[in-house]
Chain A
């Protein structure tokens, strides 16, 4: 069965070198395109900046996770040693904060690390069982040796002819349409 209506998700350009992809991403974002994404088999450090991506909220999520871990770890120990099971150890006060520091520190790291992993997945919208870019057969090469730049049709500056012409001007190997 074929879908009743095939709408356009965006345009995809294929590049053979990572530096071409970075240049293309830089050119696209300086042209004013905002809804764009790049795909590469390995991380490229400059790509994030080249895409002109807005700042991610992940640092805030990690900070909150760390704070929750920190306070949670401290008060867990406070509750255990002062309220739930008060026991005299070496004549020290029940609320002996120096002894609580190592566990508090570890819980901070645990909270921050969990927030980083789960927050990253959530903000990326993962897991995602369907994504239109896989409708392009050649996109399988994105996990091998090819580099792709996608400009989405929802971008306010998107115009099928103009954007195709713009992508062609970046000397890609090929420009393909991506069906939604």
Chain B
């Protein structure tokens, strides 16, 4: 049995050595953050929501990219298929980690407080949608949909590894077509429920798409980091070529521009309409010190990565690209901070230690779960119908690629 058909955990022993420290450090960090939960629960829930949405963004972004690749094909997806699968298998953990948000509903969402709703005619109208039982039922529905899609794709992927049956790929494609539709709809409503309803008077129909673009960006950035790590170690060090990073770099650029396009569209339409109920979301964001954060987003979430990713060397040199990918994950955190925090601190910038500690701890714990999942499958999908086209030159005909390192 070749190295590519054995489980990644056996072939890359370093994975196993990283798993336990990551899980332990993450759990320890979360335990420290629990002190914050005791001292200032409201702040804890705000920071937790932000950290949770970042980790969920990588998880679901990977699931969605996997489905896109089932339909589009291409060498870029073959080499990251297994990290994609491993990330999507963290979804059950993410489902459990949603519980703190349920516990913090009273602190996060003013529409759950009967006293507030009683004095607010608009919230009374919105109660048909924004009420606690329906909120919970919807959340349950989203998680069931995501878990079922992820479970089936991963199960069939495993069957494909074991049997090599070409029919399985066809089945995965069919599920992915419907699955992408379901993802688009569920994430739209989930972002309305979990993020947009923080400011329950305000609405923006493009909000869900901004979140989808952000999740795709988070996922691509994360996958670049994983692939760079793998490409420095056997067996992938002789397989991953510069061209693979070039493709992923182009996708990163596409998602950066997609996010900027959606975010600016939302701003432009609300700015042009200039209606009191729509602009309230921007008033405290742009007329207090939060404006610095907005400017930071234009700079670090758009301008800097845009210019850097136009350079060919940036996309082909894995060492450079991976730094930008780490930077983009931080920019994603900045964007989620911009979406969540200003509505709780309308007077201006307010940074709590939990805003840094929680994303770090939750992210580390998530990474531990990811490594655990990554070890359990071979590192490349050798029976994928695209496999030969993507890597045949390198593996069968022995042509050495211009490797990334």
Contact = CB atoms under 8 A, between A and B. Distances in A.
A23 B192 CA distance: 56
A90 B268 contact: no
Interface string B388-405: 000000000100001000
A90 B272 CA distance: 9
A43 interface: no
B402 A98 contact: no
B268 A101 contact: yes
B272 A99 contact: yes
Contacts of B312: 59
Contacts of B267: 98
B243 A102 contact: no
B129 interface: no
A19 B392 CA distance: 13
Contact of A102 (B268, B397, B402): B268
A138 to B, nearest CB: 28
Nearest to B271: A98
A98 B272 CA distance: 9
Contacts of B134: none
Contacts of B402: 49
Contacts of A63: 310
Nearest to B264: A101
Interface residues of B, number: 11
Contacts, number: 17
A84 B58 CA distance: 49
Contacts of A19: 397
Interface in B233-281: 243, 264, 267-268, 271-272, 274
Interface string A20-62: 0000000000000000000000000100010000000001000
Interface residues of A, number: 11
Contact of A98 (B243, B268, B310, B397): B268
Contacts of A102: 268
Interface string A87-98: 000101000001
A63 B311 CA distance: 11
A99 B274 contact: no
A90 B267 CA distance: 17
A79 to B, nearest CB: 21
Contacts of B243: 45
Interface in A88-122: 90, 92, 98-99, 101-102
Nearest to B265: A102
Contacts of A99: 268, 272
A115 B397 CA distance: 39
Interface of A: 19, 45, 49, 59, 63, 90, 92, 98-99, 101-102
7 shortest interchain CB distances as A-B pairs: A98-B271, A98-B268, A90-B274, A101-B264, A99-B272, A101-B268, A98-B267
Given A49-B402, A92-B274, A102-B268, 14 more contacts: A19-B397, A45-B243, A59-B312, A63-B310, A90-B272, A90-B274, A98-B267, A98-B268, A98-B271, A98-B272, A99-B268, A99-B272, A101-B264, A101-B268
6 contacts: A45-B243, A49-B402, A90-B272, A99-B268, A101-B264, A102-B268
Interface of B: 243, 264, 267-268, 271-272, 274, 310, 312, 397, 402
